[in-house]
């Protein structure tokens, strides 16, 4: 029941970042501020619900994004989202992250995510920009949007994911 609700809310986030955010971002900043709300939700899942769930959500929503916005290659978002979700969960799921900690983790994860995606495109010669330029052009400006979103959604997201874990705790093999 609760898992269904989480998936539904994340689908809504996915639609918002593709269809509504382009209108909210002021003209001229369209290619600089880029929303990654679904990814923020995956990191929340890793922090408050466990690494396996984060892996599953990351891979499936990453794949959805790859297929729906297919331009050059499929699989990059799925792999990176799943991987970052899993490792964040592995490092931090036992600790109860506070607001400051959660926000800083999300900030770091966003930089890591954008960097990894950038380098995948670099390896396959789809972009030829330098990393320093990409960092200043879109990675750092969009980081602020992600942080604002994480702050705004911290309380409901934490409640949602923690309720989910309490309802049916994952069976850990360790």
Partner 1 sequence: MIELFKLMRNKRMFMLMIGFILFIAVIGFSLSDRKELTWPEKFLKDTAAYVQQWFYKPAGYIAGFFEDIRNLRIVYEENEQLRLTAAAYARDKIEYNFVEKENKRLKEELSFTERQKEMYNYNYLIAQVVSVSNDANNRSLTINLGSKNGVRPNMAVTTIDGLIGLVSAVTPFTSTVTPITELDEASPTFNSIAVTILGREDDSFGILSSYNKETSRLLMTKIDEDDKLTVQDTVITSGLGNVYPRGLVVGTVESRQVGDFGLTLTATVELSASFDHLTEVFVVQVPELEDTEQ
Residues 103-142 that bind partner 1 (CB under 8 A): 114, 117-118, 121, 124-130, 133-134, 137-139, 142
Residues 25-44 that bind partner 1 (CB under 8 A): 25, 27-31, 34-36
Q: How far is the CB of 96 from partner 1 (least distance, A)?
A: 24
Of 164, 26, 39, the closest CA to residue 113 belongs to 39
* DSSP string of 108-167, one letter each residue: HHHHHHHHHHHHHHHHTTS----HHHHIIIIIHHHHHHHHHHHHHHHHHHHHHHHHHHHH
Number of residues that bind partner 1 (CB under 8 A): 53
Cβ neighbours for 165, distance < 8 A, ≥ 6 positions apart: 48, 49, 50
Stretch that binds partner 1, among 14-22, 42-50, 98-106, 146-154 (CB under 8 A): 14-22
Q: Is 75 in the site for partner 1 (CB under 8 A)?
A: yes
Cα of 148 vs its chain's centroid, Å? 14
Binding region for partner 1 (CB under 8 A): 15-25, 27-31, 34-36, 64-65, 67-79, 82-83, 114, 117-118, 121, 124-130, 133-134, 137-139, 142
């Amino acid at each position: 029941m609760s898992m269904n609700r989480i998936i539904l809310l994340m689908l809504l986030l996915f639609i918002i970042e593709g269809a509504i955010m382009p209108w909210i971002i002021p003209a001229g900043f369209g290619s600089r501020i880029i929303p990654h709300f679904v990814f923020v939700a995956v990191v929340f899942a890793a922090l408050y619900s466990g690494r396996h769930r984060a892996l599953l959500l990351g891979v499936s929503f990453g794949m959805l994004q790859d297929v729906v916005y297919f331009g050059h290659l499929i699989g990059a978002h799925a792999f990176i989202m799943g991987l970052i979700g899993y490792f964040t969960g592995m490092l931090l799921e036992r600790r109860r992250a506070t607001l400051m900690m959660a926000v800083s983790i999300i900030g770091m994860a966003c930089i890591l995510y954008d960097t990894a995606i950038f380098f995948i495109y670099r390896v396959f010669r789809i972009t030829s920009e330098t990393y320093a330029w990409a960092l200043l052009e879109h990675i750092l400006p969009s980081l602020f949007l992600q942080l604002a979103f994480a702050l705004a959604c911290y309380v409901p997201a934490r409640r949602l994911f923690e309720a989910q874990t309490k309802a049916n705790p994952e069976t850990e093999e360790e």
